[in-house]
Amino acid sequence: MTTTAPPLPARTTVGIVGGGPAGLLLARLLHRAGIDCAVLEARDRAYVEQRQRAGILEQGTVDALRSSGAAERLDREGLVHDGIELRWDRRAHRIDFPSLTGGRRVWVYAQTEVVKDLVALQLRDGAPLLFDAPVSAVSGAGTDRPVVHYAHGGAEHTLACDYVVGCDGYHGVTRKAVPEGELRTFERVYPYSWFGILADVPPSSDELVYAHSPRGFALLSMRSPRVSRLYLQVPGGTDPADWSDERIWDELDARFAVDGDWRLARGPITQKSVLPMRSSVTEPMRWGRVLLAGDAAHIVPPTGAKGLNLAAGDAVVLARAFEELARTGSTAGLDAYSDTCLRRVWRAEHFSWFMTTTLHTAPDQSAFDTRLQFSQLDRIAASPHAAAELALNYAGLPVG
């Protein structure tokens, strides 16, 4: 084994495993509070910054980025959206957020851009952020000095911490630091996936369009006034290579079909990927000195645009708890962290399940099931109370 100087200090207050939105925002908030931390990210910077994922930021996430000094480009380039459109049975209905939620709205600003902004700030003036540093294990979760074991530069290293936060996503290792049987995971796997594309064509709608159709769900989103982001429901295991650009556009045309003269503009498709759909929650989100945040603790189907925003909410609650500990010595915030976050997580799980099962056509769906979906969508169009419940959940409930 080569012996090289460890790339990080031998110890820190908060060891953060994973440099996605949860880990990076937590590090940024801790740095602003003067709390020592370090981020270990398995992949390289380029990979992390180009990974196509979420596109919608809730008010709470935007507030957290602004308060941590990470929203300058977001405020310059982000697209503010006051509503979404639902389509079903060739009909369309717009949900207006500000009038139904007392002024809340959402921002279209891709997760890739949030990550780029946070990485740049972290490298410029934040706590250590180490790329190409896969964590193999976290030990000592039940002690007051948990240890992160990681590799970097061909050597193995350790980082002793007061606390370790697993921000390492659904396939991360931090959950394994907790003794068998101490965590409980609740899961639902959906019988379909999302086929996502990026296309160099201006979006054919100013706002997002969520479409139910007997052929399956479709979503029109965007990344900028010149780049469209679209998704269509496909069977699990679909291979993007089996779909030509023409077949994709034809299928999207059929699913967005609506009375009137609306047309879907086409353009060159620059990225294709298939994303499985699942719901998952691991409880509790804290065990001893190890805490879980973001996808390491919970996964939602992307229909409700909650994943990234839940991760941000966890980071905000956790940063507040660590600030309280540093300022007063009280662990009350840390002790309440899991319960505080799980209330919001389960609300988002239900909303994401609701949006998914109301708008997707399951493989074994009956005509009766479809009529129930139409009844629900008709109710949202007819009742401001039903519309407000959707708008409040979509635009984001207050954090913490």
Running DSSP on this structure, what letter comes out for residue 109?
-
Q: Is 229 in the site for ligand PHB (CB under 6 A)?
A: yes
Q: Which stretch binds ligand FAS (CB under 6 A): 120-128, 151-159, 162-170, 387-395?
A: 162-170
Active site residue 176: no
Partner touching 23 among ligand FAS, ligand PHB, none, CB below 5 to 8 Å by kind: ligand FAS
Distance (Å, rounded) from C-alpha 53 to C-alpha 275? Answer: 10
| Residue 312 neighbours by CB under 8 Å, 6+ apart | 21, 22, 25, 57, 58, 60, 61, 64, 65, 399
Q: Which residues of 59-86 are buried (b: 16+ CB within 10 A; e: fewer)?
A: bbbbbbbeebebbeebeeebbebbbbbb
Active site residue 163: no
For ligand PHB, give the closer residue by CB, 174 or 221: 221
Distance (Å, rounded) from C-alpha 198 to C-alpha 318? Answer: 34
Q: Which stretch binds ligand PHB (CB under 6 A): 14-22, 51-59, 122-130, 254-262?
A: 51-59
Closest CA to 334 of 293, 377, 298: 293
Active site residue 385: no
First to last CA, the chain: 46
Distance (Å, rounded) from C-alpha 61 to C-alpha 316? Answer: 9
Q: Which stretch binds ligand PHB (CB under 6 A): 70-78, 141-149, 302-310, 357-365?
A: 302-310
Q: Is 227 in the site for ligand FAS (CB under 6 A)?
A: no
- Report the residue from 57, 129, 305, 388 that binds ligand PHB according to the rule CB under 6 A: 305
Where in 113-211 does DSSP place strands (E)?
129-130, 135-139, 147-152, 155-166, 184-199, 208-211
Active site residue 214: no
Q: How far is the CB of 188 from ligand FAS (least distance, A)?
A: 16
Please, what sign has the CA dihedral across residues 372, 373, 376, 382? negative
Q: Is 393 in the site for ligand PHB (CB under 6 A)?
A: no
- Report the residue from 56, 130, 177, 377 that binds ligand PHB according to the rule CB under 6 A: 56
Partner touching 399 among ligand PHB, ligand FAS, none, CB below 5 to 8 Å by kind: none
Binding site for ligand FAS (CB under 6 A): 17-23, 40-43, 48, 53-55, 111, 134-135, 167-169, 172-173, 275, 294-296, 302, 305-308, 311
Binding site for ligand PHB (CB under 6 A): 54-56, 208, 221, 229, 302-303, 305
